[in-house]
Structure 1
Amino acid sequence: MSHYSPAIAIQMILFYNTLNERYRRRYAPVEAVKLGHGGIAFISELLGCVPKTISRGIAEMESEEQPNSTCQRKKGADENP
């Protein structure tokens, strides 16, 4: 089962490998859900992650109303002096 061209698959793998654990757990489920039936197994094999991790990520996505975000910048940091 091939859902992506080889070039896209390579880009997905390279991108996935730059992510920390939390963001991997968020990225893989998004891709799996887009594929529908069989998506978890396919993405798990493609990205080399455990299907349980993807299932956990899907559950987290479904339970959150908004992603938890913390400010990366101090208030007013992007304002011109």
Structure 2
Amino acid sequence: MRMLMESYSTIVEAQMVRFYSSLNERDRRRYAALETTKLGHGGIQYISTLLGLHRKTIVRGMTELNSEEQLTTNRIRKKGGEEEV
């Protein structure tokens, strides 16, 4: 039998959403990825729904968290407005 993931309390969820909205684009992805990692199975769907973002965005954030190069960059976008990959 599979264990169901427990969700955060309503108060914690509200704080998470408020904090998330204060972050820039890159940090939002990474924060969502970090929270997903803490939750384990079912975390991507839960955080995606809570924060209103696509699961691919969370997966991208997870990739960034695992990349030393991505964590050391200070830029959010490349020159000319193109998003860094």
Q: TM-score, normalised by structure 2?
A: 0.74
Q: Could you give the per-residue CA deviations for residues 3-57 of structure 1, whole angstroms, max 9, x where no partner exists?
A: 1000000000000011110100110000000000010110000011110000001
Match of 2:54 among 50, 63, 77: 50
Structure exhibiting the larger radius of gyration computed from Cα positions: 1
Structural RMSD (CA): 1.7
Q: Where does residue 16 of structure 2 map in the other structure?
A: 12
1:26 partner amino acid: R
Structure 1: how far apart are the matches of 2:26 and 2:73? 13
Q: May I ask how many residue pairs the two structures share in their alignment?
A: 70
Gaps of 5+ in 2: 75-85
Q: TM-score, normalised by structure 1?
A: 0.77
Gaps of 5+ in 1: 71-81
